[in-house]
Structure 1
Amino acid sequence: MWISSIVPVRKKNGQIRVCVDFRDLNNACPKDDFPLPIAELMIDATIGHKALSFMDGSSGYNQIRMAPADEELTAFRTPKGIYCYKVMPFGLKNVGATYQRAMQKIFDDMLHKNVECYVDDLVVKSKKRENHFHDLRKRGIEIEQAKIDAILRMPEPQNIHELKSLQGKLAYLRRFISNLADRCQPFSRLMKKDVPFQWDEVCDKAFKSIKSYLMKPPVLVAPVPGRPLILYVAAQERSVGILLAQKNDEGKENALYYLSRMMTPNELKYSPIEKLCLALIFSIQKLKHYF
């Protein structure tokens, strides 16, 4: 019999949530490889719709019953005794895959038409009613302004923790920023162990360049099915950069996706043609769902 322990976790609002530590049980469970939707494709699928309704399943996981034979495996100890779940709890290894499978079965004939589903988050979309959007507009995919403002208001990092916070915010916007890895290259040496944190002019120039870029961020578009895609790859001295684009009805190229990453020490030794091949392989791995 498996018996797990309870763990108190502080929520963002300061309240305490009591969770069950299922790590030992999860390590003994085989993984359910049922695929989750690709977030980028779900975002692209909303373009052109004039109304979007977002819904979150209320205690979604708890709406699915545990198999009776598996209930006792979820047992956990409390000061009042040992209890187990009769419904699917949060924290088990395969609950996300199980819930996604159920949602796809329920919304089978609606998915990718007027419903998109990512686990317990649903989007119902319509092309018939005009409306204004906060971060998705008729003309394309835009960065949420609050995400931009959070970076523009940031002072220069004073320590490694503040630098990690900056890089975390930039990672959220990486699809929109061309050659992000190259722009952040001056920061990389500060992330190394046993290197004193010293914000110099090179770092400051890179930080200001990123802020300047975000003052006028690009508007991306969703790919039009059946229309050729254009892939640009570039190998910088220490990074690779990719742009996925597509021509619109007027023949103008529109950006769909920016992608970049730093090279490893071994990759820095590659010849120029090998670096271009590296960029091509990287783009295929990350953007294969578009092809």
Structure 2
Amino acid sequence: MHVLILGGTTEARRLAELLHARGSDRVTSSLAGRVAAPRLPPGEVRVGGFGGTEGMAEWLRAHRVDAVIDATHPFAGTISFHAALATAAVHVPLLALRRPGWAPVPGDDWHGTDSLAGAAELVRGLGRRVFLTTGRMGLAAFAHLDDRWFLVRSVDPPEPPYPARLETLLDRGPFTLDGERELLRRYAIDVLVTKDSGGAATAPKLTAAREAGVPVVVVRRPPVPEGVRETPSPEGAAAWLDTLRPHPYDPYRRGPEDEPA
């Protein structure tokens, strides 16, 4: 089968590695191209957008794709909805690979919101020195908070608009608990802002915040498009692909025509 992985996440790379090792499928990973030096998975790789729903549907037809696995970031909502519409249009099976979200534990001081704009409003009442870990693309939502200081951590440098009082920390996970503890202490952070991305690579900041008594603003993830099946692991995605393969011929296997009327 020709499998298209909409990637850019750790889970997408793991799935590509798993399928590449099995060697039974042609695998193409699609990356958005928003990171300057992405970690490339094995197999074929394409970079850039598809040109909306119609462009993706045409690409699926032209490249004879048999299955699509949406393993994009949980907050990459636009591409997920385009994938749902495009695969439905060309009758190609679609699966969403989504790592489980985080859940608070005793001692956490979490404040939930559905948007970055909501997160900015919550920050006003929670702290003045903000550790902002929502990525470099949504900083405009915080640009008007001139009376707050921000530490922004991202893989690539952010582009304006962003807060006036800003320090950038260029880094890529996974992060350690000791490192996150030291970061909160060194910068005197009194509020953390994050998206509910899930996964272990960036989770230590939550533990460090709990230990330090630092409140956390958590942006809830958007839902998977209605009707799209989900799995939490690359292994689950590989197993789903196996269900799409034709069954070997079995002369004793009953077909619909053998069922009693």
Band the TM-score falls in, shorter-chain normalisation: under 0.3
More helix by share: 1
Bigger RCO of structures 1 and 2 (CA < 8 A, at least 6 apart) = 2
